[in-house]
Amino acid sequence: MRTAYWVMLGVGSLVIIALLAGLLAAVGRFRSSGPGDEPRRLTAGRGVIAKIAGGLSVLVAIVFIFGVIVSDGVKQATAEEGTEEIDVKAIGQQWLWRFEYPAQAGGSFSEGIATIFSYSELVVPVDTKVNLSIDSTDVIHSWFVPALGPQVWAVPGEITETSFIADEEGLYHGRSTVFSGSAYPVMRASVKVVSADEYEDYITGLNAALQEGQAAVQGTDTTESAEEEE
Amino acid sequence: MAPPTIAERRPEVVTRHLAAGREGWLTSATSADHKEVAKLFIGTSLTFLAVAVLAFVLTRVHLIVPGSTIFRPDIFSQISTASMTSITVLFAVPFVLGVLGYIVPLQIGARGVALPRLNQLAYWLYAAGTLTFFVSFLYLVPETGLFPLPPLSDDVYSPQHGVDAWIGGVGLATLGFVCWAINMVATLKNMRAPGMAWRRAPVLAWAARVISYIVLVAGPAMIAGLVMLAIDRNFAGVFFDAGEGGEPLLFAHLAWIYFTAIHTIMVVFALAVISEIVPTFSRKPLFSHSAVTTSIVAVGVLGTLAWMQNLYASPVADGFAYFAMLMALALLVPIGLIYVIWTLTMWEGAISTRAPLVLAIASAIALAFGLGGQWVTSVVGAGLLLENTVAAQQDTILTIVGFVLAGFAALHYWMPKLTGRVVADGPAKAAAGLILVSAAIYGFAMFFAGLAGQPVDVYRYFSDDGVSTLNLIATIASVFLMLGVFLELVNLVRGYGAGRPAGHDPWRGSTLEWFALSPPPPHNFDAVPDVRSPEPLRDIREAIRLREETFVPPEPLPASAPAEVGVPDPGDDAGMSDEAAAVDAPTADPDDIVSGEAADDSDSDTESADEVEPADEPQPEEGRGAADEPHEGEELDTDEGSDESGDGSPVS
């Protein structure tokens, strides 16, 4: 995706430089020599214009085909054979993200079991395809972690999907990019990429915390204070 | 108020003894004359340019350091909303409508507009809109940004009345734009000068036509969206309520159609203005009139259809995204073609670097970078990376800067027509340089900040984002940008009131607005010449020159010797214009306004003749007389190749 951008930036820069160089060269070279100066009245025949427009059209056609190729399925990561997959729900709300995981590491939501959740920080295993289902409970937000893939809007009443594969362990930061009210700038999303073992531990920990919380009170919010960082 | 006119002796044209004694402001406020209405549009919109730039710099000053606490978050959002709404709805569109509304009827040789009262209503609706929006500062300001996207802007998440004021203000102004567009379409259809087929209509008239249709498409879309939002907020509507089966994204699309249309209007206007200025200041015809006008139509259509290039991240089907991408990419063809035509128009020309041309070139540079950046991010893959970041925003801001520079160029170019005075060159050139350089620095800084992921509309960023230095640079640049804009605004205001006298045709223009007096009388023209080419005024000039060159004194007696008596008869037309030039030249022409570049008599005598001489014969007659013979054949068989044949014909 970055590659597509840099290629486009190169092509665009060349076009801009070419157009402006001609313009500025003309301004620089052909100054009026005085009041009586009457230049030749040169105008185009049809052929010249058709050639210029044709050339530009060919460029546009090439760029369009290139654009379709590089943009095809860009919202979804392409996984190699045998890559593990996990499903995570990301739910935007003013002004943080809630992430819901299947109760068992590597499980999916279809099994109808209880989900466990975290706020603000998504923890995923490395080299695993993460399928995100994005939703919003209030206003429109945007899921955007620049290092991990493109922006996807979270629209209330509509589930949008994206996926990514993190190659390296680490902490990745992102921001919502759709204005969502007064605390919008602090609506940051963090993705912590860990090894598969750490991920297992994390899910186990969440499960334990959840059961502990459920045992203590009939609420589910006790994990929140532990998980929240902002 | 009534300027001198050459029509004194004609009973049907009365410019003296109009209702005198009314105060100036009362005349302006009540007159349905398109020129008075247009001046109101221009003046009001420039006020909001100042407001918008000031608000923009305030937001930038707030962002000078990470974690700044200069403004409270809600105050910051309010200032930012005011800035963005002002620059687009309250400045850009009405400014375009003002300049077009003044100049285009003159350019097409109309003596007025088709629906003057509707035109007047347009201004007052717009004025009511500005008032509605800014009065909300007295109770509760909208803080939902340029796009009050529904779940955020509905009565649950924005219960305060600021959003209602925003809806009312933008809605009223947009309704005004639509009224203006109806009038402009009717005027352009019905009131063109005899012989002015569309292929001969000036570029700016084409732009007016395109812009009118864009407004007629996008304006009602926005009004519909606003009405639905108002119903949702105040009358328990569910148009955008997903929980009740509504669709929040509908408003996003309607609003983007509108704001993309505004963006397109800016671009079309800027391209048209530069295309008017470049030929005049290179003393050459536009390299291809037909290609430029066709391209302007194409820019209008493609630009408006590309609205979804801003919505790649929203759930739109791939097919729509690729359609928008194709439209946005295809814009390169007409816009690139226009740039090439400007270059070829100036090539081997006699360029005089007066303020209008300097501003126009500065505008072309800013537009190239702004539109180029948008072209790059219109590829879906790149757009998803940069959409809604400051990197994409700076493309838009550079385009707006280009538009503002083109607007300044237009004012410098046509101010002599508005007031009979010319605006000073020096401050304008300085301002052009200042604006261009500071906008470029701002653009580069924000480009890198956007690549680092800084989103738009944030009142805070963090020191670990790695964008602190870039924001500092951008803030400093934006202050200089503001200084440039204000310098030029002051210059324009001074030039409006106290510029140096310009005469009627200081630039030696070739379109019909320069045929009118400066400032034009309420009826614009005493006589409307026939049009035989895209450069009617040049044809008239050529015809007069030809008459003088081939002048043979009348021979009352066929027997006397014809050769020696080559002195023009003082009573003759040509002789009269020469005298007029002699009278007029020292006062108006030599160094005052044209600084020795357009000061030759071949043009100034045709224009100044009607200023000084009460005799009304010379011009209309030249125009019509010269039009007679070559007219018939040429009008039918050549269209745009007729640039050559069109100007050749009066000579041959």
Domain end position, chosen among B205, B221, B242: B242
For the ranges A72-86, A172-186, B615-629, the one whose mean pLDDT is highest: A172-186
Instruction: Decide: helix, strand or coil at residue A98.
Output: strand
Show the domain range for B219: 29-242
Q: Which residue of chain B has the CA closest to A8?
A: B376
Q: What are phi and psi of B506, to 5 degrees?
A: -65, -30
Contact A56 B599 (CB under 8 A): no
* CA dist., res. B292 & res. B385, Å (int): 34
Q: Which residues 419-458 of B have a C-beta within 8 angstroms of A? A: 452-458
Domain end position, chosen among B226, B242, B258: B242
Q: Is the ipTM of this complex over 0.90?
A: no
Q: What is the pLDDT of residues B121-152, one digit of tens each?
A: 999 999 999 999 888 877 777 777 677 888 88
Q: Is the pLDDT of residue B303 over 70?
A: yes
Asked if A189 contacts A177 with a C-beta cutoff of 8 angstroms, the reply is no
User: Residue type for A106, please?
Assistant: G
For the ranges A1-15, A105-119, B362-376, the one whose mean pLDDT is highest: B362-376
Q: Which residue of chain A has the CA closest to B287?
A: A43
Domain ranges of chain A: 88-227
Per residue, what are the HEC states of A158-186? CCEEEEEECCCCEEEEEECCCCCCCCHHH
Q: How far apart are the first and last CA of chain A?
A: 30
* Chain A closest-CA separation from residue B37 CA (Å): 36
pLDDT at position B582: 39
Report the range of poorest mean pLDDT among A105-109, B58-62, B255-259, B293-297: A105-109
Question: What is the pLDDT confidence band of residue B558, given thresholds at 50, 70 and 90?
Answer: low
* CA dist., res. B428 & res. B354, Å (int): 10
Is residue B341 one of the residues assigned to a domain? Answer: no
Mean pLDDT of chain B: 82
* Chain B closest-CA separation from residue A77 CA (Å): 13
Q: What is the pLDDT of residues B594-616, one digit of tens each?
A: 333 333 334 333 433 333 333 33
Is residue B39 one of the residues assigned to a domain? Answer: yes
Q: Which residues 239-258 of B have a C-beta within 8 angstroms of A? A: 242-243, 248-249, 252
The structure tokens listed for B252 are: 């996003």
Contact B333 A56 (CB under 8 A): yes
Best mutation target among A17, A43, A57, A187 (most B Cβ atoms within 10 Å) is A43
Q: Is the pLDDT of residue B638 over 80?
A: no
Q: Which strand (E) or helix (H) includes residue B261?
A: helix B248-282
Question: What is the pLDDT confidence band of residue B512, given thresholds at 50, 70 and 90?
Answer: very high
**Which of B73, B242, B321 lies nearest to residue A182, judging by beta carbons?**
B73
What total of structural domains would you count in chain B? 2
**Which of A34, A60, A180 lies nearest to residue B152, judging by beta carbons?**
A180
pLDDT at position B376: 92
Contact A41 B596 (CB under 8 A): no
CATH number at residue B51: 1.20.210.10
Strand partners, A223: none
Report the range of poorest mean pLDDT among B11-15, B547-551, B560-564: B560-564
Q: Which residues 455-494 of B have a C-beta within 8 angstroms of A? A: 455-461
Is residue B571 one of the residues assigned to a domain? Answer: yes
Contact A139 B333 (CB under 8 A): no
DSSP B568: P
Is residue B481 one of the residues assigned to a domain? Answer: no
Say which residue, B154 or B639, is predicted with more confidence. B154
pLDDT at position B620: 39
Best mutation target among B238, B288, B295, B376 (most A Cβ atoms within 10 Å) is B376
Best mutation target among B323, B340, B508 (most A Cβ atoms within 10 Å) is B340
Asked if A103 contacts A178 with a C-beta cutoff of 8 angstroms, the reply is no
Q: For A6-12, what is the mean pLDDT?
A: 91
Q: Is the alpha carbon torsion for B383, B388, B390, B393 positive or negative?
A: positive
Q: Is B524 left (phi over 0), alpha (psi -120 to 50) or beta?
A: left
Q: Is the pLDDT of residue B116 over 70?
A: yes
DSSP A134: E
Q: For B241-267, what is the mean pLDDT?
A: 91
Domain end position, chosen among B189, B212, B242: B242
Helices (H) and strands (E) counted in chain B, each on its own, are: 22, 2
Question: What is the pLDDT confidence band of residue A106, given thresholds at 50, 70 and 90?
Answer: low
Question: What is the pLDDT confidence band of residue B78, given thresholds at 50, 70 and 90?
Answer: confident
User: Domain A88-227 - what CATH class?
Assistant: mainly beta
Name every chain A residue with its beta carbon within 8 A of the beta carbon of B454.
Answer: 175
Q: For B470-486, what is the mean pLDDT?
A: 94
Best mutation target among A2, A3, A5, A145 (most B Cβ atoms within 10 Å) is A5
Q: For B268-294, what is the mean pLDDT?
A: 94
* CA dist., res. A209 & res. B424, Å (int): 75
Contact B315 A45 (CB under 8 A): no
Is residue B229 one of the residues assigned to a domain? Answer: yes
pLDDT at position A112: 54
Say which residue, A44 or B492, is predicted with more confidence. B492
Q: Percentage of residues in chain B with pLDDT exceeding 90? A: 52
- B361 — contact with chain A (CB < 8 Å)? yes
Beta-carbon contacts of B392 under 8 Å, excluding residues fewer than 6 positions away, are B373, B374, B377, B383, B386, B450, B456
Q: Edge to edge, what strands does the sheet with A121-125 contain?
A: A121-125, A188-194, A170-175
pLDDT at position B8: 52
Q: Is the pLDDT of residue B568 over 60?
A: no
Alpha helices by DSSP H, B283-389: 289-305, 318-330, 332-346, 355-377, 380-386
> How large is the greatest C-alpha to C-alpha distance in chain B, in angstroms?
101
* CA dist., res. B492 & res. B415, Å (int): 9
Report the range of poorest mean pLDDT among A14-23, A140-149, B152-161, B526-535: B152-161
Is residue B287 one of the residues assigned to a domain? Answer: no
